[in-house]
């Protein structure tokens, strides 16, 4: 029996990933695709049965030259469709309705008057608080459609086709500011699309093992193992099928946290993996000499990783490289045609164009971090690894703003150890998504022991999040911050100033570079 799937046609919305998460939270598999997908590709989706299609929002106007469009025939497939914001307008436009620039744009929370509590608006109140973000609006519908809701400035805020399962909603049900947004999506996914909640960590494991088997066949593989939950989970998944044909390669590039390389060696030597540890510290730091641009750092590190893996693969005659790349890595590296690149991840956009592998296999490429952790628990990855906070592949090299030197690395490793120990010992530490120290390239004047001190600045960063795609800075107690600051300036002679980053993501990213 084919597995149920909700396809999300992404028109460049900043909330597309959040929409996918909302559906997956209901144990229904959702997948983001480009709007240029052909109708026949939707009908013939391999092991999946497309039960519903969602057209997302986006930054364009449907009248803008070059604005993204989908094939109009998708509306004729007989598959339930939900248009959100731009997708709502596009359905109306394709169906012969009237879409124009609104006299007054709507941004933020507003009240919607629900005229018909049916379909996607079943179990809604007469007045609903919803979150809007649009300039264009639907002003008129064809006769075969009916209005379900309106707002003060939007006469057609939600609609449905009178006979077909085609719906449109101007507001964003995926954001938390729409109070009954999850209910709307639940109505669409279960009542209208008739999806079954069968997407679970267990089902993902069986599917991923089969996928790895199909991709590599009888070939030998190496896996890039960093010791984090992503690469560790990918390694255990691959080992389930490949077994002795898999070699786990840990590259010590010198940018790990204090004591971490030894800890990783100790942990993974116990696994039933062909574990190799390569000391490449001198080569990596040499390649970064004089480099200050963070994108160049990431690309250089990404290429050096690949070259190291290629040399290892040549020795053991491996044809495939397996990576623990996850979905947020790919989003921020600009994999979506109508979205912006935030920063290059060393294992995605940082990869060189030419590599000596038949294929790079990424079994976790469509998962978020919390989903990876669920899978990890299911397949028996040790708890210490499952709960390890996110750590970037380029390591401390991108927590040093500016050029990376051995001296700066030593300072940051000591600072990071102090910050981590203090926050790990704090009673509220477990609710933090990530915390670390960063080292700024600028120096400032201070006073130590009645003498002038000209030293570095350490930035403390601590955030709360569920998936790493958005994050809020953690409101740490001032007494805790003061204690950390005192330790940093007392125990590290080169540091004389400490600041705390109180920026959310967005507008910032979690990491500094």
pLDDT of 352: 58
CA gap 335, 178 in Å, rounded: 28
CATH code given to domain 399-500: 3.30.300.10
3-state secondary structure of 105: strand
Exactly one of 70, 85, 195, 221 is catalytic; which is it?
A: 85
Query: 158-161 and 145-151: which strand pairing?
Result: antiparallel
Beta bridge partners of 107: 133
Q: What is the pLDDT along the chain (513 residues), one digit of tens a residue?
A: 788 999 999 998 878 888 998 999 899 999 999 999 999 999 987 778 999 999 999 888 888 888 899 999 999 999 999 999 999 999 999 999 998 876 666 678 899 999 999 999 999 999 999 988 877 889 999 889 999 999 988 999 999 999 999 999 999 999 888 999 999 999 999 999 999 998 888 888 888 888 888 888 889 999 989 888 999 999 988 888 788 899 999 999 999 999 989 988 888 887 778 899 999 999 999 999 999 999 999 999 989 998 999 999 999 999 999 998 887 776 654 444 444 444 444 444 445 567 788 888 998 988 888 889 999 999 988 888 898 888 888 999 999 999 999 999 999 999 999 999 999 999 999 899 999 999 999 899 988 877 788 999 999 999 998 777 778 999 999 999 999 999 999 999 999 999 999 999 988 889 998
pLDDT of 338: 47
CA gap 332, 348 in Å, rounded: 10
Instruction: Look up 174 and say whether it is catalytic.
Output: yes
Provide the edge-to-edge strand list for the sheet that holds 246-252. 274-279, 246-252, 221-224, 320-322, 359-361
CATH 3.30.300.10 domain position(s) in the chain = 399-500
HEC assignment per residue over 305-371:
HHHHHHHHHHHHCCCEEECCCCHHHHHHCCCCCCCCCCCCCCCCCCCCCCCCCCEEECCCCCCCHHH
- Token readout for 132 is 């809007």
Write down how long the chain is: 513
Closest CA to 456 of 442, 468, 446: 442
pLDDT of 177: 87
Architecture of the domain whose range is 3-192 = 3-Layer(aba) Sandwich (3.40)
Beta bridge partners of 3: 48
CATH 3.40.50.620 domain position(s) in the chain = 201-386
pLDDT of 353: 63
Query: 451-464 and 495-500: which strand pairing?
Result: parallel
Exactly one of 106, 174, 332, 513 is catalytic; which is it?
A: 174
CA gap 99, 135 in Å, rounded: 11
* Homologous superfamily in CATH for domain 201-386: HUPs (3.40.50.620)
Query: What's the Cα-to-Cα distance from 468 to each of 60, 188, 326, 418, rounded to whole Å?
Result: 26, 27, 11, 23
pLDDT of 144: 94
CB atoms within 10 A of CB 338: 18
Instruction: Look up 88 and say whether it is catalytic.
Output: no
Exactly one of 17, 165, 172, 346 is catalytic; which is it?
A: 172
Cβ-count burial 390-402 (b if 16+ within 10 Å, e if not): bbbbbbbbbbbbb
CA-angle at 178, arms to 174 and 180, nearest 5°: 90
Closest CA to 353 of 302, 317, 394: 302
Strands of 71-193, DSSP E: 81-84, 98-114, 127-140, 145-151, 158-161, 166-169
pLDDT of 461: 97
* Residues 6+ positions from 351 with CB-CB distance below 8 Å: 302, 303, 306, 360
pLDDT of 348: 41
CATH 3.40.50.880 domain position(s) in the chain = 3-192
pLDDT of 325: 87
This prediction's pTM: 0.70
């Amino acid at each position: 029996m084919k597995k149920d799937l909700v396809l999300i046609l992404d028109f460049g919305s900043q909330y597309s990933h959040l929409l996918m998460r909302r559906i997956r939270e209901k144990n229904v598999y959702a997948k983001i695709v480009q709007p240029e997908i052909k109708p026949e590709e939707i009908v013939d989706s391999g092991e999946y049965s497309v039960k519903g299609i969602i057209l997302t929002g986006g930054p364009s106007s449907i009248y803008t030259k070059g604005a993204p469009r989908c094939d109009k025939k998708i509306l004729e497939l007989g598959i339930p469709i939900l248009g959100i914001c731009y997708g709502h307008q596009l359905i109306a436009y394709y169906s012969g309705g009237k879409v124009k620039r609104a006299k007054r744009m709507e941004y933020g929370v507003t009240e919607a008057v629900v005229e018909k509590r049916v379909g996607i608006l079943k179990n809604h109140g007469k007045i609903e608080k919803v979150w809007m973000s649009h300039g264009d609006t639907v002003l008129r519908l064809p006769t075969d459609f009916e209005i379900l809701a309106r707002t003060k400035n939007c006469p057609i805020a939600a609609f449905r086709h009178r006979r077909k399962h085609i719906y449109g909603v101007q507001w964003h049900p995926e954001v938390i500011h729409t109070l009954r947004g999850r209910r709307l999506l639940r109505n669409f996914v279960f009542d209208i699309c008739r999806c079954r909640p069968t997407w679970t960590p267990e089902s993902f494991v069986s599917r991923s093992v089969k996928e790895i088997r199909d991709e590599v066949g009888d070939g030998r593989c190496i896996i890039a193992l960093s010791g984090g939950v992503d690469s560790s989970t990918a390694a255990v998944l691959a080992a389930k099928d490949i077994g002795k044909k898999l070699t786990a390669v840990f590259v010590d590039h010198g940018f790990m946290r204090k004591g971490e390389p030894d800890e990783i060696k100790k942990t993974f030597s116990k696994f039933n993996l062909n574990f190799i540890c390569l000391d490449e510290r001198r080569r990596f730091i040499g390649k970064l000499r004089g480099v200050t641009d963070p994108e160049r750092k990431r690309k250089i590190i990404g290429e050096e990783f690949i070259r190291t893996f290629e040399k290892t693969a040549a020795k053991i005659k491996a044809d495939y490289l397996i990576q623990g790349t996850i979905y947020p890595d790919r989003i921020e590296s600009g994999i979506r045609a109508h979205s912006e690149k935030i920063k290059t991840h060393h294992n995605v956009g940082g990869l060189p164009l030419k590599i000596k592998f038949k294929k790079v296999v990424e079994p976790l490429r469509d998962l978020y971090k919390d989903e990876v952790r669920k899978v990890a628990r299911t397949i028996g990855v040790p708890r210490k690894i499952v709960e390890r906070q996110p750590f970037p592949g380029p390591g401390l090299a991108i927590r040093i703003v500016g050029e990376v030197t051995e001296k700066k690395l030593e300072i940051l490793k000591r600072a990071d150890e102090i910050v981590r120990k203090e926050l790990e010992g704090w009673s509220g530490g477990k609710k933090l998504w990530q915390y670390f120290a960063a080292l700024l390239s600028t120096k400032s004047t201070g006073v130590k022991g009645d003498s002038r001190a000209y030293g570095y600045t350490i930035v403390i960063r601590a955030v709360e999040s569920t998936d790493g795609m958005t994050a809020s800075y953690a409101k740490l107690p001032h007494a805790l911050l003061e204690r950390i600051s005192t330790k940093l300036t007392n125990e590290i002679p080169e540091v004389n100033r400490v600041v705390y980053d109180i920026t959310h993501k967005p507008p910032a990213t979690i990491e500094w570079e």
